[in-house]
Amino acid sequence: MKDEVQRVILHLPATADYVDIVRLNLYGIASKMGFSYEDIEDMKVAVSEACNNSVLYAYKQEDGTVEVTFEVKPDSLSITVKDEGESFDSWDKTDDRVTLHDKNLDDAQIGGLGFYLMQALMDDVSVVSEAGKGTKVVLIRNLARSEEKV
């Protein structure tokens, strides 16, 4: 049953005080999986950006929660940060999946540069934002196996 997906799910208040808990869980999970220190640090920055977006923009000073799901697979770690707050207004509403690859820096709104950072640090980033349903950011990092361990 080595191919089975293992999940760790956190439900946290959408406040900056709890972002460190997400980072600590990420560190523990990723280090058990065999990710390098550098990979883990990159993932911590990316997940912090995703969490901060929920904390800063989703609930507009009202109480809310953020759900963070770590999916451990044999060859990758998927981190989903989900909130049920306001959707991001700056995204193209004609497409559920958002990518920033084709945009210029001039096209990014202030505060939107975190998504460029997440894409630079992770192997795959997808964002789904639906009016009335919140936003879900999925970050995926593949586990690079060294030749000696094979």
d(CA 71, CA 29): 10
More confident residue, 63 or 122: 122
What is the rounded CA–CA span in Å between residue 49 and residue 117? 8
- Residue 87 pLDDT grade (very low, low, confident, very high; cuts 50, 70, 90): low
Q: Across-strand partners of 9?
A: 69
In this model, does residue 4 exceed pLDDT 90?
A: no
Q: In what order do the strands lie in the sheet with 134-142?
A: 6-13, 65-72, 76-83, 134-142, 124-130
| pLDDT interval class at 14 (50, 70, 90) | very high
More confident residue, 104 or 87: 87
Task: Quote the pLDDT of residue 51.
Answer: 93
pLDDT (mean) for 66-88: 92
The more confident residue out of 66 and 2 is: 66
pLDDT at residue 38 greater than cutoff 60? yes
Q: Where are the domains of the chain?
A: 6-149
Q: Which of 25-34, 88-97, 140-149 has the lowest mean pLDDT?
A: 88-97
C-alpha 13, offset from chain centre: 16
**Mean pLDDT taken over the chain:** 82
Contacts of 5 (CB under 8 A, 6+ apart): 71, 72, 73
Q: How much of the chain, in percent, has pLDDT values that exceed 90? A: 57
CATH architecture for the domain at 6-149: 2-Layer Sandwich (3.30)
